[in-house]
Amino acid sequence: MTQALVIGAGPAGLMAADRMSAAGLDVTVTEAKPSVGRKFLMAGKSGLNLTKDEPFPQFLAQYEEAASFLQPMLQAFGPRDVVTWAESLGQDTFTGSSGRVFPKAMKASPLLRAWMQNLDEQGVKVRTRWRWVGGIEGYDFDTPEGRQTLHPDVCVLACGGASWARLGSDGAWADWLPVRTARFQPANMGFEVDWSPHMAPHFGTPVKSVALIAGGQRVRGEFVLSARGIEGGGIYAVSRRLREGATLYLDLFPDLADDALRKRLARPRGKTSMSGYLRKALKLDLVKQALLMEFARPLPEDLFPVLRALPIRIKGPRPMDEAISTAGGIRLDELDDGLMLRARPGIFAAGEMLDWEAPTGGYLLTSCLATGRWAGDAAVRYVKGQGK
Q: What is the domain-level CATH number for residue 82?
A: 3.50.50.60
What pLDDT, on a 0 to 100 scale, did the predictor assign at position 141?
Answer: 97
Q: Which of 298, 316, 334 corresponds to the end of one domain? A: 316
Residue range of the domain that includes 54 = 4-186+319-386
Q: Choose the final residue of a domain: 316, 341, 373.
A: 316
Q: Which of the listed residues 290, 316, 342 is the one where a domain comes to its end?
A: 316
Same-domain status, 170 and 223: no
The DSSP line for 50-93 is: -EE-S-HHHHHHTTGGGHHHHHHHHHHS-HHHHHHHHHHTT--E
Same domain for 148 and 258?
no
CA angle 344, 141, 115 (to 5 degrees): 85
pTM beyond 0.85: yes
CA 281 centroid distance within chain? 40
Q: Which helix or strand (DSSP H or E) is residue 334 part of? A: none
Mean pLDDT across 182-204:
96
Q: Are residues 109 and 237 in the same domain?
A: no
Q: What is the pLDDT of residue 216?
A: 93
The predicted pLDDT at position 387 comes to: 54
Say if residue 205 is in the same domain as residue 64: no
* 380 and 352 fall within a common domain: yes
H/E element, 14: helix 11-22
Q: Given a cut of 80, is residue 1 above it in pLDDT? A: no
Same domain, 162 and 199: no
Long-range interactions of 103-108: CB distance < 8 A, separation 24+: 103/48, 103/50, 106/47, 106/48, 107/44, 107/45, 107/47, 107/48, 108/37, 108/40, 108/41, 108/43, 108/44, 108/45, 108/48
Interval 81-108: pLDDT, tens: 999 999 999 999 999 988 999 999 999 9
What would the mean pLDDT of 110-133 be, rounded to a whole number?
97
- Residue range 186-193: average pLDDT? 96
End-to-end Cα distance, the chain: 12
Is pLDDT at 46 greater than 80 in this prediction?
no
Residue 230 φ/ψ, nearest 5 degrees:
-135, 145
**179 and 198 both lie in a single domain:** no
Compute the mean pLDDT over every residue in the chain, rounded to the nearest whole number. Answer: 95
Angle between helices 67-76 and 363-386 (to 10 degrees): 80
Work out how many domains the chain is built from and give that number.
2
- Nearby residues of 136 by Cβ (< 8 Å), 6 or more positions away: 155, 177, 178, 344, 347
290 and 362 share one domain: no
Where helices occur in 97-152 by DSSP H, the ranges are: 109-121
Q: Examine the domain organization and report whether 200 and 327 are in the same domain.
A: no
Q: Do residues 52 and 158 both lie within one domain?
A: yes
C-beta neighbour count of 245 within 10 angstroms = 9
Do residues 296 and 284 both lie within one domain?
yes
Per-residue model confidence as pLDDT tens digits over 123-133:
999 999 999 99
Question: Does 197 lie in the same domain as 180?
Answer: no
Residues 222-280: tens digit of each pLDDT: 999 999 999 999 999 999 999 999 999 999 999 999 999 999 999 888 888 888 888 88
